[in-house]
């Protein structure tokens, strides 16, 4: 019998962190449409009720703080009690610190970004690893094109996404002999609350981004990002870059990156905009990603 496109996900149990956000919600809908059961893990206290109202028996929601491994472990335990398995883990929760230069980024913004975007991913993988191995399943890590682009004005975020990329590369090799596939997803700007609050509402950031080539600024809808993740899972792919034009930039990063950095370092417009970012920040320094 010929394999249908949905066979890889049909009947599988998928746990996704940050499941209430833009990419998280869209991915949950897409996976359910392809026959999966989804466990939505999110810090929002309304997650259980919200998940039941939106998806009925096709999903269940748990309140989870990815910074707390015990919180994740409790959700994993309840999932195993209910379904007996976890086939796929999607580490999607994350933060974006308010734009600033290194000189004006508060220490707390670095700490909170690393706690969620790096340790939160590590905790998610660690608490679900054994069940996923038992199913010879898959792990998805949501990185960003900022893993290999210059992170000017967003150093904590770029650092964290580069760390996620390295985790994915190493895990892919470490888990190969266990039959587990590791997929790292790289997105450009996805139209989520993170983009609206962290970028669009700050005119200086908008101006800074305008110094980049226009093809780099193309945004994608959450539903499009979700389809890219689901397609990658069905293909058991190692990487997804969306939009696809980023594949060439990633492949040539060793050449393009240094050349682009050299140009930016001498671009008066870019340097003047960065100087305007060097201002004290308000107390609230992070925006939840919705999480991704």
Average of pLDDT values for 279-284?
56
Give 195-235 pLDDT, tens digit per residue.
Answer: 666 666 677 777 887 777 776 777 889 999 999 999 999 99
Judge whether 91 and 141 are in contact, CB under 8 Å: yes
Judged against a pLDDT cut of 80, whether residue 247 lies above it is answered with yes
Confidence (pLDDT) at 201: 67
What is the bridge-based pairing of β-strands 286-288 and 95-97?
antiparallel
Active site residue 62: no
| Cα 89–Cα 94–Cα 100 angle in degrees, nearest 5 | 155
The CA distance from 110 to 114, in Å, is: 6
C-alpha atoms less than 13 angstroms from C-alpha of 221 in its C-beta half-sphere: 4
Judged against a pLDDT cut of 90, whether residue 245 lies above it is answered with no
Which pair of structure tokens corresponds to residue 62?
């748990």
Band (2; pLDDT cuts 50, 70, 90): very low
Exposed e or buried b per residue across 177-203, where buried means at least 16 C-beta atoms within 10 angstroms of its C-beta:
eeebbbbbbbbbbbbbebbeebbeeee
Band (285; pLDDT cuts 50, 70, 90): very low
Give SS3 for 291: coil
| Cα–Cα nearest to 131, from 80, 73, 182 | 80
Q: Which one from 55, 62, 157, 186 is the annotated catalytic residue? A: 157
| Mean pLDDT (the chain, rounded) | 90
The 3-state secondary structure of 20-59 reads CCHHHHHHHHHHHHCCCEEEEEECCCCHHHHHHHHHHHHE
What is the bridge-based pairing of β-strands 239-242 and 95-97?
unpaired
Band (7; pLDDT cuts 50, 70, 90): confident
The CA distance from 269 to 263, in Å, is: 11
Give 19-37 pLDDT, tens digit per residue.
Answer: 998 999 999 999 999 999 9
Q: What domains, with CATH codes, occur in the chain?
A: 13-245+253-288 (3.40.50.720)
Confidence (pLDDT) at 204: 79
Band (259; pLDDT cuts 50, 70, 90): very high
Judged against a pLDDT cut of 90, whether residue 254 lies above it is answered with yes
């Amino acid at each position: 019998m010929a394999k249908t496109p949905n066979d890889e996900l049909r009947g599988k149990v998928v746990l996704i962190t940050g499941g209430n956000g833009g990419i998280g919600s869209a991915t949950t809908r897409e996976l359910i449409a392809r026959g999966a059961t989804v466990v939505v893990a999110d810090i929002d206290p309304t997650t259980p009720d919200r998940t039941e109202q939106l998806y009925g028996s096709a999903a269940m929601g748990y309140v989870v703080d990815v910074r707390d491994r015990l919180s994740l472990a409790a959700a994993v335990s309840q999932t195993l009690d209910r379904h007996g398995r976890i086939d796929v883990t999607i580490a999607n929760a994350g933060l974006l610190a308010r734009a600033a230069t290194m000189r004006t980024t508060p220490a707390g913004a670095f700490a909170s970004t690393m706690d969620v975007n790096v340790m939160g991913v590590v905790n998610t993988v660690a608490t679900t690893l054994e069940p996923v191995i038992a199913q010879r399943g898959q792990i998805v890590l949501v990185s960003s094109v900022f893993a290999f682009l210059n992170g000017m004005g967003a150093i904590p975020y770029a650092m964290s996404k580069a760390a996620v990329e390295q985790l994915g590369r190493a895990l892919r090799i470490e888990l190969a002999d266990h039959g587990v596939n590791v997929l790292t997803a790289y997105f450009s700007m996805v139209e989520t609350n993170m983009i609206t609050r962290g970028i669009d509402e700050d005119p200086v950031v908008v101006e800074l981004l305008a110094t980049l080539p226009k093809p780099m600024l193309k945004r994608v809808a959450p539903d499009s990002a979700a389809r890219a993740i689901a397609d990658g899972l069905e293909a058991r792919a190692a990487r997804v870059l969306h939009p696809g034009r980023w594949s060439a930039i990633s492949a040539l990063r060793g050449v393009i990156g240094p050349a682009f950095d050299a140009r930016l370092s001498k671009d008066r417009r870019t340097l003047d905009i960065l100087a305007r970012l060097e201002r004290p920040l308000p107390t609230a320094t992070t925006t939840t990603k919705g999480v991704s």
